């Protein structure tokens, strides 16, 4: 449906990240005639450098911060397409609101302005379902679509930063470039992303090892999510990039937002952990540690304590009301619009995604046991 990216120069921000480095890998594997590929991050990771060494291509590595306008201007000069994945992801509140907004929102705004000044034609933003919710009332969504009206009263800084940045990206669509052309933008909202290299999955694995080989029950069984494999998220970005290059599809996706998910069965976060770790002999707790209302009360008390202690020292609650709602609210979506407008179809089936992720988990088990001093 979409033309390949022959001759297109691409900048990927956040190239060392979980999603960013998979996008880089897929571009190198799929686009033989790609123009220069620029990969930007504050710190370039060893896995990213290893990927780049495998391909004899025109790759330019850039170390810098999205808050640095001068650096962004140099990075964007001569680029046709920007894929903006760089962001701070913080579900627990360890990062201050000022830092979160300066990177996720204001960094995106600076990058958009540099794109306009540098005549960048296309801009793809990696958003999140947390730009939508769940809201503070824990209202569920079942097979949601992009036109669904949802009372999005967000109670956490990360979701707000992604929501505001996404709005900035969509507003920038059609802005006049210095050369008289116009910027084409779109936003992709992945659901919860799993796969090899997931820091969240490694955290859950560590907790399971410390819990006698049993995953903690962090979400009710009936609280369904539709997780998406990281390889399919990367493929959605490549699909969107190809669609932007084709004038016929570019008109369809310009200024639009798209949910990105795949055919992974809808299940709770805890049951996803179990599905990925079952073949490794890992179990999952049958129920939450205590009834949900008591957990909510406990989270509220810890948040009050954090507020009262703030003048003396920074206490970050291990459990917040937002995190509890996020993990225990049914929140599922459809990728029909992405299929209709840009031809997106998942490249990896659930079985393949599960097998690849489980194999990665098995590969890190010895190291995790050693570091956690577990026999």
Name the CATH superfamily, with its identifier, for domain 10-197+227-265+332-349.
NAD(P)-binding Rossmann-like Domain (3.40.50.720)
Q: Residues 34-63: what's their mean pLDDT?
A: 85
CA pair distance 245, 250, nearest whole angstrom: 7
339 in Cβ contact with 345 (< 8 Å): yes
Q: What is the pLDDT of residue 375?
A: 63
Upper half-sphere CA count for residue 96 (Cβ side, 13 Å): 5
Averaged confidence pLDDT in the chain: 92
CA pair distance 150, 168, nearest whole angstrom: 19
In angstroms, what CA-CA distances link 236 with 264, 307, 338?
15, 41, 8
Which residues 6+ apart lie within 8 Å of 286 measured at CB?
217
Q: What is the pLDDT of residue 2?
A: 43
Q: pLDDT exceeding 70 applies to what percent of the chain?
A: 98
CA pair distance 59, 310, nearest whole angstrom: 46
Q: What is the pLDDT of residue 18?
A: 94
Q: What is the pLDDT of residue 329?
A: 96
Q: Residues 70-86: what's their mean pLDDT?
A: 95
Q: What is the pLDDT of residue 155?
A: 66
CA torsion sign for 188, 191, 197, 202 is positive
Between 21-30, 53-62, 331-340, 345-354, the lowest mean confidence (pLDDT) is in 53-62
* pLDDT(1) > 60: no
Upper half-sphere CA count for residue 307 (Cβ side, 13 Å): 7
Query: Active-site positions?
Result: 158
CA pair distance 178, 265, nearest whole angstrom: 46
Write down the domain spans for the chain: 10-197+227-265+332-349
Residue with tokens 């805890």: 270
* pLDDT(20) > 90: yes
Per-residue model confidence as pLDDT tens digits over 303-352: 898 888 888 888 888 888 989 999 999 999 999 999 999 999 999 999 99
14 in Cβ contact with 5 (< 8 Å): no
CA pair distance 375, 369, nearest whole angstrom: 7
Per-residue model confidence as pLDDT tens digits over 138-183: 999 999 999 998 987 766 788 899 999 999 999 999 999 989 899 9
Per-residue model confidence as pLDDT tens digits over 184-235: 999 999 999 999 999 999 999 999 999 999 999 999 999 999 999 999 999 9
Q: What is the pLDDT of residue 154?
A: 67
Helix axes of 69-76 and 106-117: crossing angle, nearest 10 degrees = 40
CA pair distance 90, 159, nearest whole angstrom: 9
* pLDDT(21) > 60: yes
Helix axes of 20-30 and 230-245: crossing angle, nearest 10 degrees = 60
Q: What is the pLDDT of residue 301?
A: 94
Q: What is the pLDDT of residue 261?
A: 97
């Amino acid at each position: 449906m979409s033309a390949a990216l022959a001759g297109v120069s691409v900048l990927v921000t956040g190239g060392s990240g979980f999603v960013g480095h998979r996008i880089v890998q897929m571009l190198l594997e799929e686009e033989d005639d790609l123009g220069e590929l620029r990969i930007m991050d504050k710190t370039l990771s060893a896995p990213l450098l290893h990927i780049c060494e495998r391909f004899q291509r025109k790759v330019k590595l850039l170390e810098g911060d999205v808050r640095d306008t001068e650096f962004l201007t140099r990075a964007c000069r001569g680029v046709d397409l920007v894929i903006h994945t760089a962001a701070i992801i913080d579900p627990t509140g360890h990062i201050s609101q000022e830092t979160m907004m300066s990177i996720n929102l204001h960094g995106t705004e600076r990058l958009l302005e540099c794109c306009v000044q540098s005549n960048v034609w296309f801009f793809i933003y990696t958003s999140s379902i947390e730009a939508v919710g769940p809201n503070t009332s824990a209202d569920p969504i079942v097979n949601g679509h992009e036109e669904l009206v949802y009372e999005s009263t967000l109670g956490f800084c990360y979701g707000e930063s992604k929501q505001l940045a996404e709005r900035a990206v969509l507003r920038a669509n059609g802005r006049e470039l210095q050369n008289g052309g116009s910027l084409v933008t779109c936003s992709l909202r992945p659901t919860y992303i799993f796969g090899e290299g997931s820091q969240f999955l490694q955290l859950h694995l560590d907790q399971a090892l410390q819990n006698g080989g049993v995953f903690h029950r962090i979400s009710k069984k009936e609280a369904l999510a539709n997780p998406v494999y990281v390889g399919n998220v990367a493929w959605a970005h490549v699909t969107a990039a190809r669609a932007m290059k084709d004038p016929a599809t570019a008109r369809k996706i310009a200024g639009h937002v798209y949910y990105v998910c795949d055919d992974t069965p809808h299940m709770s976060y805890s049951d996803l952990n179990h599905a990925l770790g079952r073949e490794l002999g890992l179990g999952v707790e049958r129920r939450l540690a205590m009834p949900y209302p008591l957990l909510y009360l406990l989270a509220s008390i810890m948040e009050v304590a954090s507020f009262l202690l703030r003048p003396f020292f920074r206490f970050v609650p291990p459990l917040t009301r937002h995190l509890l709602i996020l993990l225990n609210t049914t929140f599922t979506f459809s990728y029909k619009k992405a299929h209709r407008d840009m031809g997106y179809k998942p490249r990896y089936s659930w079985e393949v995604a599960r097998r690849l992720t489980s194999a990665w988990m098995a590969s890190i088990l010895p190291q995790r046991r050693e570091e956690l001093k577990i026999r």
